[in-house]
Structure 1
Amino acid sequence: MLVYLLLLTVIATVEAQRVQGQQTSDSCLCKINSSIWTFPIFHFEEVTRQVQICEDNLNEFEEKMRNTNAELPMMEATLQNISARLKAFDYLHTSGLYSELHLRQLNQELEEIHQSVNETHMQNPNKETHNLLSELNKAKNDVQRMYRDDFFNLETMRKRLRELNNRAQSCKTMPNDFRSSCHQRTMTRISSPVVTKLNSISKSYISGSWGRDALLSSTEHYWEHCLVSDHRRGNTIRMYNSLEDFMANNYYKDVEIAPSYSHENAVQGSGTILYDNTVFYQCYDTAKICSFNITTQATKRVELAGAGIDNKFPFCYYSCRDWTDIDLEADQNGVWVIYATDENHGNIVVSRLEPVSLNITHTWKTRLFKRSVTSTFMVCGVLYATRFVNTYKEEVFYAFDTTTGHEINTLSLPFEKVSAGIANLNYNPVDGKLYLYNDAYLLAYDTFF
């Protein structure tokens, strides 16, 4: 009998088992204890669990990939939307701001202001014009020092020139009653609404303007203008001969300003005003001011150089009101236009219009960012600005006096409204009221000084 050693390796225990065998014929018979061959069930279950976790993770990853692929178009659309919204702020990019080219432009602007003040001083010499000339000469020396030392600080110099320019504008020759007609300078309170009604056309027309002829000697003419094409365009103004007719929507006359909404003389935006039976407004799709004389049916146009249009500088604060880049206003002193320019970094610019010739006679530059306010109006040569408080309250928070060039940032004059959005707010010097186009509602307020 031959004894063979059979070496078996057991995976589970990594141990060798020696087993005796007996040869029978051509076979070798061995008696083996099968317990050493027990299947490693615990190890198998652990491996199975790990495989299941891996499979679950893989499925989760595949699901995330599918969701990501589905979300990518939405993310791309959102990015494009953000890019489009940020495009309006391209003018804030200061790349190359301190270049020699900008310094030459600054020097040219300084020369223009100096020439203007010098002409004013020659016509009407006084202490203010003398001081201005001295400060301008000093500013010119500072600019020359920038050239020499190659040290540019244009932002500080621009601010300095803006203040000098505003003082120069205030020194220009103006009508004799420009300063004397308004002895009470700053508004102190606004009443609750004394008039509240829907516009006479449709509640869906949320943009427009309304009021009373702002010429001090004018008769009692009330007007209403609704933007009826995409809240952007209009070509008709509705006229009333009394407040009673206006409130009752009776005996009105629709006057056609332009043949169609897309005509070059059609109205764009809600910044319309009526002064001396003449409608002043932004001409359609251009940076021009139009005046339409209701009596003669004649239209005049003038370029508003540098003005941002097509929602570049609308009134915003809480939410932007489209097509409010250019705002026409009127007060005791005549007609004003309020807008913003790239050159003034999107801050409000105020220009005075000669109503008959439509020439721009004076221009002031403020430090108030136009997109940070909801509306503006003029009283006695003072620009007032409002901001959103909540759906039913607005607040006058800012004033800029064109007579002195001074800004007031500490005002707090709240007033009520019936809806969140403001399309137009204008002051009337005849009755001392503010007229508000509040979405589709028309409101009026008494003012106190």
Structure 2
Amino acid sequence: MQDRISLWHEQTNRYATELREFKQQMVAQIETLDKDKETLRTDLDSVGTRVDRVEREMDYLETQNGAQPCVDVDDKLVEQQVTVVKEKNKVKYAKATDCRDMISSIKAMKILKRVGGPKGMWTKDVGSSSGKVYIFNGTDEDTIYEFGSIRDFTISQGTSMAKTVRLPSPWRGSGHTVYNNHAYYVKEGKELRLIKYNLQNDSVADSAVFPVQDHVPVYSLTPETVIDLAADEEGLWAIYATKETERHISLAKMDANTLDIEQMWDTPCPRENAEAAFIICGTVYVVYNTALPSRSRVQCVFDVSDMVTNDDAPLVYFPKRYGSHSSLKYNPLEQLIYAWDDGYQILYKLAMKKKLEV
């Protein structure tokens, strides 16, 4: 009788233990299901956004490769449609801010260190004051090096103190930018695709086909760069070139959230002998190599608000030390240019003045 009671107690304890374990498993599964539910809801929202994006891209492709009409279209009507598009691009630019700064001169130059190959890009987040530094080494790679500060970057042995961010696809060229916690870069294939990558949750936030045909390198001295993305006080920009305007550089204002193009301009700035460019307050400054081996110079300026012309712009020389600049990125919070020169990371301190003072 005593043995049976002991066995009954043992079985009861075992069943109670199993029941508790089962309860814990069920609670954990319910929590997992709740998380999966939220993830699915987020994914559905993302899918909805991407469907909208695909629809916009299909609309664009249809305009580029539309079916031949069954009846002849009046040539005058076609000309009118082309004129409407061109006139839309000539509409006066509506500034997002009241910034009127332009370069007066290069106040100082500081060579921080040498990390990486001859071509690349380094920058801070243009749209935030986080202080983080981002290194894009090379013209066809997929790993970003993120440093907590300029000091961490300076004292680090190579990239030993950096966090590595692996992108889902390689970038092309050295025309990337970091803006409001997102890396914007170009993926090259059958078409040029802009990628917006969220650096906080390590995921692609959006992507879009850049709607130009027959693209060519932006700068003759940096042929790997097919689109140079830049951010300033006004937001996100794309500097590019096509066979249609092969001798000169073009400019587009973009929506940083949707990657839509808001407005486009053909500039008078030639591609020949150009190294790189940067944008300040809606003005693009194109830097060219000079006959002097230790200098490069801003030789062409294009202001979307028509406040500054080449005749107005001051002569600005960069005291270059090594090769040619593969990238120049302006930081409006610091009024510094982050330059990559033959693997050396250089800071240029700018002296500024107001556009109306020219």
TM-score by length of 2: 0.70
Matched, 1:417 2:320: yes
Instruction: State the distance in 2 between where 1:404 and 1:324 align.
Output: 27
TM superposition shift of 1:298: 2.6
Structure 2 match to 1:207: 119
Structure 2 match to 1:304: 210
Matched, 1:254 2:160: no
Instruction: State the distance in 2 between where 1:297 and 1:303 align.
Output: 21
Instruction: State the distance in 1 between where 2:172 and 2:240 align.
Output: 14
Answer 1 or 2: which has greater helix percent.
1
* Contact 2:269 2:301 survives alignment (8 Å): no
Of 195, 211, 214, 2:111 maps to 195
Q: Which amino acid aligns with 1:189?
A: S
Q: Which amino acid aligns with 1:275?
A: Y
Structure 2 match to 1:224: 135
Structure 1 match to 2:13: none
Instruction: State the distance in 2 between where 1:237 and 1:244 align.
Output: 18
Alignment of 1:32-47 (within 5 A): none
Instruction: State the distance in 2 between where 1:391 and 1:218 align.
Output: 36
Structure number with greater Rg is: 1
Helix, strand or coil: the match of 2:153?
Answer: helix
Helix, strand or coil: the match of 2:224?
Answer: coil
Distance 1:287-1:346 versus aligned 2 partners, 3 A rule: farther
Instruction: State the distance in 2 between where 1:304 and 1:346 align.
Output: 20
Structure 2 match to 1:321: 222
Distance 1:343-1:252 versus aligned 2 partners, 3 A rule: same
Of 97, 111, 117, 2:84 maps to 111
Of 328, 333, 339, 1:436 maps to 339
* Contact 1:225 1:238 survives alignment (8 Å): yes
Instruction: State the distance in 2 between where 1:392 and 1:307 align.
Output: 36
Instruction: State the distance in 2 between where 1:244 and 1:307 align.
Output: 43
TM superposition shift of 1:385: 0.7
Instruction: State the distance in 1 between where 2:187 and 2:304 align.
Output: 26
* Contact 1:331 1:381 survives alignment (8 Å): yes
Instruction: Give identity over the alignment, percent.
Output: 22
TM superposition shift of 1:108: 2.6
Structure 2 match to 1:87: none
Q: Bigger shift: 360-369 or 235-244?
A: 360-369
Of 256, 263, 266, 1:362 maps to 263
* More contact order relative to length (CA 8 Å, sep ≥ 6): 2
TM superposition shift of 1:315: 1.1
Q: Bigger shift: 357-366 or 406-415?
A: 406-415
Matched, 1:236 2:143: yes
Gaps (5+ residues) in structure 2? 1-73, 353-358
Structure 1 match to 2:303: 401
Instruction: State the distance in 2 between where 1:102 and 1:274 align.
Output: 45
Distance 1:429-1:107 versus aligned 2 partners, 3 A rule: same
TM superposition shift of 1:290: 1.2
Structure 1 match to 2:71: none
* Contact 2:136 2:145 survives alignment (8 Å): yes
TM superposition shift of 1:113: 4.5
Cα deviation 1:286-317 (Å, max 9, x = unaligned): 322111111132322112222554xx33412x
Give the root-mean-square deviation of aligned CA atoms: 2.3
Q: Which amino acid aligns with 1:247?
A: T
Helix, strand or coil: the match of 1:191?
Answer: strand
Distance 1:244-1:336 versus aligned 2 partners, 3 A rule: same
Distance 1:307-1:395 versus aligned 2 partners, 3 A rule: farther
Instruction: State the distance in 1 between where 2:213 and 2:106 align.
Output: 31
Distance 1:321-1:330 versus aligned 2 partners, 3 A rule: same
